Amino acid sequence: MIKAKELKDDAILDIKVNKSYYLMAKAASFTILQQMNIADKGEEYFKSIMTQKYENLDDLQRAFYTIILLLAEIEKKATDENLYTEREILEPGDEGYIEPTQDSN
C-alpha cells in the first residue's frame, strides 16, 4: 500500500501567482484549444462545456474547464486588486500590423 496526499474536503487555499505563471496557464489553455479542433465547433460548444456537469465531460473538456476556471480566478483577483495594465494590440487591417509567428524554441 502507498500513501498519497490530497487536500481536505473543506480546504480553500490562497496562492500567489505571478505574470509568468499566468502566461503559462494561458499558453496551456491555447494548447488545449488546439487539441479540441475548435475550427469545427462554434461558441455554443464552449458555453456548453462550462455549463455541463464536470463528470459528463471528456478528458480534454475537463482540462479546458479546469484551466479556464483557474484563469478566470486569476483575472478576477487581478481586477479586484487593480493589477492590470491596458495596452493596445493591433489587429489585421490596422496600419503597422504584423502577422504573429510561433517560435519553435
Query: Which residue has cell 479556464?
Result: 68
- The stretch 69-84 carries a mean pLDDT of 95
Average per-residue pLDDT in the chain?
90
Res. 103 pLDDT band, cuts 50 70 90:
low
Q: Can you tell me the mean pLDDT for 45-53?
A: 90
Give percent above pLDDT 70 in the chain: 97
Report the C-alpha gap between 93 and 6 in whole angstroms: 50
Question: Comparing 22-26, 38-42, 68-72, 80-84, which segment has the lowest mean pLDDT?
Answer: 38-42
Q: Report the C-alpha gap between 69 and 104 in whole angstroms.
A: 28
